[in-house]
Amino acid sequence: MNRIDPFIDFLPQLDVHGFTEDIVMTVVNDFIYENYRLGKEKVVIVHGKGQGILKNKIHMDLKKNKYVKNFRLYFMNTGVTIVELKERD
């Protein structure tokens, strides 16, 4: 991934290139939960651009994830999603 913005380097990252639609959310949900548990505010999911299959699956499921406050595509690379996590109770 070509990085111009150094801010993204400091966030926990998960690269799901090569994962199938069937198992990607198990990995993503575990990653989100662990970072929520650790009190992280934001995480990065690298899904790639391609045909958008992984991105669409991830975005659909992020909408339903109880630990996710908000998410958006990274403005410098649409193959990356930045996820904002809710505060721990």
Q: How many Å apart are CA 57 and CA 76, to the nearest integer? A: 21
Angle among Cα 16, 19, 22 to the nearest 5 degrees reads 125
Return the pLDDT at 5.
66
Closest alpha carbon to 60 in 29, 38, 15, 89: 29
| Span of 3-17, 24-38, 42-56 with lowest mean pLDDT | 3-17
Total-model pTM: 0.90
**Ordered structural domains, the chain, with CATH:** 13-85 (3.30.1370.110)
| CA torsion, ordered 27, 19, 56, 83, to nearest 10 deg | 40
Q: With a cut of 80, say whether residue 89 has pLDDT above it.
A: no
Return the pLDDT at 8.
80
Per residue in 58-69, pLDDT tens?
999 999 999 999
Name residue, tokens 């998410």: 71
